[in-house]
């Protein structure tokens, strides 16, 4: 098997395992994975316009509106006017949403520590560099 084929299969295997882990983590929270990702993006990047949030998530604003409505009703997200553009609405996490984000982010941090425990400092630095480059391709 060629190296690129091995890499392909390894990426797919990692994605499948990570997705399975992610599903198991959010299952008992009564949120979809997409809603959890919405909270993650807002927790990482702060308040933003719906169009920007949809772009970061790789979904349409129509799809995002449904997710945001559910998260607003659950008390995790709030809509508020943009400070300098009266036509725009920002979405941001409430205190409850921030708490959920920190809890979920801590789970991600623990997972990252666990799966990189057998890598030395140099290998972790290389992995980070590779992931940063790969993420720019999306």
Does residue 93 lie within any of the structural domains?
yes
pLDDT value at residue 114: 95
Give Cβ neighbours of residue 81 (< 8 Å, ≥ 6 apart).
Answer: 88, 89, 90
- Cα gap 91→52, rounded to integer Å: 10
The model's pTM is: 0.84
Quick check: is 19 in a domain? no
Kindly give the confidence (pLDDT) of every residue in the chain, 138 residues in length, as a single tens digit, with 9 standing for 90 and above.
899 999 999 999 999 999 999 988 888 778 888 999 999 999 999 999 999 999 999 999 999 999 999 999 999 999 998 888 888 889 999 999 999 999 999 999 999 999 999 999 999 999 999 999 998 987
Per the structure, the complete domain to which residue 84 belongs is given by 32-135
List the structure tokens of 11: 């990426």
Picking from 73, 53, 16, 95, the residue whose alpha carbon sits closest to that of residue 24 is 16
Tally of domains within the chain: 1
In-domain check, residue 10: no
CATH of the domain at 45: 1.10.10.10
Query: Is residue 12 in a domain?
Result: no
Asked if residue 11 belongs to a domain, the reply is no
In a domain, 87, yes or no: yes
């Amino acid at each position: 098997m060629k190296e690129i084929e091995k890499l392909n299969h390894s990426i797919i295997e990692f994605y499948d395992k990570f997705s399975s882990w992610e599903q198991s983590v959010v299952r008992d929270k009564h949120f979809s994975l997409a809603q959890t990702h919405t909270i993650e993006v807002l927790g990482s990047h702060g308040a933003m316009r719906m169009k920007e949030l949809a772009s970061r998530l790789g979904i349409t604003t129509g799809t995002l509106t449904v997710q945001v409505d559910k998260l607003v009703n659950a008390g995790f997200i709030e809509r508020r006017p943009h400070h300098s553009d009266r036509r725009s609405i920002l979405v941001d996490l409430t205190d409850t949403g921030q708490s959920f984000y920190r809890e979920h982010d801590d789970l991600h941090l623990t997972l990252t520590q666990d799966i990189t425990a057998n890598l030395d400092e140099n290998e972790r630095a290389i992995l980070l560099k590779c992931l940063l480059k790969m993420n720019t391709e999306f």
